Chains A and B, each alone.
Chain A
Amino acid sequence: MRSFIKPRKKRLLDRMSALWLSFIILVSIGLIVFGVIIHYKSSFYIKMLDSLQHQNATTSKEVTNLSKKVMLINSQKKIYDEVEKTNDVLKVSMKNLFDLIPDQITLTSVVMERNSLLLKGYSISKEAYTLLLQPPLKSIFTKSEVKFSKMKDAKVEFESFNTIQPQKVEK
């Protein structure tokens, strides 16, 4: 500095140009900020959409899994129902069977299958069997075969094999 005073500070632009320039700068800053906000918001929404789609996919997967499970449970229920039904029927049949057995006859073994019934036991006499047990068995089963064998104590051991012909389903 070789002058006795310091030079005044100079403006780069005149007042009007500075005003215009500051206005333009302000507007552009505003636009940039707006753009940035829009960009962030859109990217935020895109991310949200992505996550939602992902969630949707997992949910639908879960839904199919669940429906599969439901189907399985349904089929299990069906089976259960069937089993229960069958059991009920069986129970009734067993009850009926035991109801059928008169006091003169003692059962030693009962083998019940879907279409057959094998009864082993002994009776006080052959007649007792034919009179008391044979008729109900015959009315139930289509075929009823019986084998007798004599026991030491005047009792008769019998082995009755009864089958039922499956009914033909009419189409």
Chain B
Amino acid sequence: MGLFKAIKKRMTNQFIAVIVYEESCAIKVKRVKKTQTLLEETKEFELHSKERLSKDVITYIQTLQEDVEQTYIVLFLNSYGQGVVPSCLKSDYKKYHIDYNNVKEICIDKKYSIYASLIDIKWAEKLFIDTGLDFIFSPFLILDSLIKRETSQDKENVTLYMMNCVNSITVMIFKGGRLLYGAFINIAKEEDLLSSDFESEDTDGDSLEDEMLEEIDLDLEMEENTEILDILDDVQSDEKQFQSTHKDENEEVVSRLFGQDLRLVKYFDASLREFYENELYDSDFITAVKIYDSCDLSKEVIEYLKEQLLIDIKRDSIDIHDQLLKLAMQETDINA
């Protein structure tokens, strides 16, 4: 096996990262030999349906495969049937109402596990039946690898990490190295589960904040943490100020949002509410936010998030394709 790997490393290897959106398909190709990159190309194709790759895509991938024998096709899984569970135990899946037998799970660092429904994995395999498929990576895995690269990880900080892709957002909340909550949201379409009128959502948002503060109050009674009490006081006083001034600004910001951006903030709020309200999650007050942005979040959205979370937001630009390629190379033990 060692010989096989050694030979493989010296050969030309090709990685094709594919992201399938509702009406398009973005492909990035990277051809490497030893440590040298021979080819790097990004292409976008139109799709008629998410159920089937167009002929152009199949022909393009097949032509690439004909050129290089060692071709790995990587898919970014952006379907609904996936998520993350803050445990690797089978028994905990039941707690989160997930049918363990119908999902494929991957344990990460023995701390938490990411899963995808077998139906979605089959869908992906069926989608690539003409070309073959080598890797299906979860957005949580990409976000996890990005988080691991962070140099400053405060153990006490509760950090919300968000990865923003063209049609989806992935949210993970960590306290130190421990995962508290994770959600993947497809924002391409309006979903019944989370959909509600944004006006009411907005008022919900207010009540959510109140609840959030109440919850923290309770926590404080138990923990007698004066430090957080101070922060809370600040937050509460800030809140009062926001109620008078920022609320208007927030509404103003929201009024400027439309389409996908609107859905993004709406779903983001909903998932945050889920984190705070659902007893299954070990909710805590978020003290830092980091956004990995792959498609230039609009200023309005960032502004809205800042107002909503009352903390400064750090933002990094990333390329999902590059992350997919990097993961595939790590999996195949090829470094370029």
Residues of A within 8 A of B (CB): 1-5, 7-8, 10-14
CB pair A5 B69 closer than 8 Å:
no
Segment with Cβ contacts to A, from B3-11, B90-98, B225-233: B3-11
Give A4 to B128 CA distance when docked, in angstroms. 14
Give A21 to B123 CA distance when docked, in angstroms. 38
By a CB distance below 8 angstroms, the chain B residues around A3 are 106, 134-137, 331
Which residue of the partner chain, among A5, A8, A11, contacts B121 with CB atoms under 8 Å?
A5
By a CB distance below 8 angstroms, the chain B residues around A11 are 69
By a CB distance below 8 angstroms, the chain B residues around A4 are 77, 104, 106, 116, 121, 124, 136-138
- Size category of the binding interface on chain B: 20 to 34
- CB contacts under 8 Å to A, within B125-149, are 125, 132-138, 141
CB pair B132 A13 closer than 8 Å:
no
Give A3 to B72 CA distance when docked, in angstroms. 12
In the complex, what's the smallest C-beta–C-beta distance from B97 to chain A, in angstroms? 21
B70 CB-CB contact with A under 8 Å: yes
CB pair B137 A2 closer than 8 Å:
yes
Give A14 to B70 CA distance when docked, in angstroms. 9
Known: A12-B4, A12-B11. A1 touches B138 (CB 8 A): no
Which residue of the partner chain, among B121, B134, B138, contacts A7 with CB atoms under 8 Å?
B134
Residues of B within 8 A of A (CB): 4, 7-8, 11, 69-72, 77, 104, 106, 108, 116, 121, 124-125, 132-138, 141, 327, 331-332
Q: 5 tightest A-B contacts by CB?
A: A7-B134, A3-B135, A4-B136, A14-B69, A4-B104
CB pair B137 A5 closer than 8 Å:
no
Known: A3-B331, A14-B69. A8 touches B132 (CB 8 A): yes
Give A5 to B122 CA distance when docked, in angstroms. 10
CB pair A5 B327 closer than 8 Å:
no
CB pair A8 B134 closer than 8 Å:
yes
By a CB distance below 8 angstroms, the chain A residues around B106 are 1-4
By a CB distance below 8 angstroms, the chain B residues around A5 are 121, 124-125, 133-136
By a CB distance below 8 angstroms, the chain B residues around A7 are 72, 134-135, 331-332
A-B contact pairs, 24 of them (CB 8 A): A1-B331, A2-B327, A2-B331, A3-B106, A3-B135, A3-B136, A3-B137, A3-B331, A4-B77, A4-B116, A4-B121, A4-B137, A5-B125, A5-B135, A7-B134, A7-B135, A7-B332, A8-B134, A10-B71, A12-B8, A12-B11, A12-B69, A13-B69, A14-B69
In the complex, what's the smallest C-beta–C-beta distance from A10 to chain B, in angstroms? 5
Give A13 to B8 CA distance when docked, in angstroms. 10
- Since A10-B8, A10-B71, A13-B69 are in contact, a sample of 14 more A-B pairs with Cβ atoms closer than 8 Å, ordered by chain A residue number, is A2-B327, A3-B106, A3-B137, A4-B136, A4-B138, A5-B125, A5-B133, A5-B134, A5-B135, A7-B72, A7-B331, A8-B132, A8-B134, A12-B11
Give A154 to B141 CA distance when docked, in angstroms. 161
Give A8 to B71 CA distance when docked, in angstroms. 10
- The chain A residue with its CB closest to the CB of B138 is A4
Which of A3, A8, A13, A14 lies at the interface centre, i.e. has the most chain B CB atoms within 10 A of its CB?
Answer: A3
In the complex, what's the smallest C-beta–C-beta distance from B214 to chain A, in angstroms? 39
In the complex, what's the smallest C-beta–C-beta distance from A131 to chain B, in angstroms? 128
CB pair B69 A10 closer than 8 Å:
yes
Which of B4, B116, B124, B135 lies at the interface centre, i.e. has the most chain A CB atoms within 10 A of its CB?
Answer: B135
Give A1 to B106 CA distance when docked, in angstroms. 8
- The chain A residue with its CB closest to the CB of B13 is A10
Give A63 to B335 CA distance when docked, in angstroms. 82
Give A2 to B141 CA distance when docked, in angstroms. 8
In the complex, what's the smallest C-beta–C-beta distance from A11 to chain B, in angstroms? 6
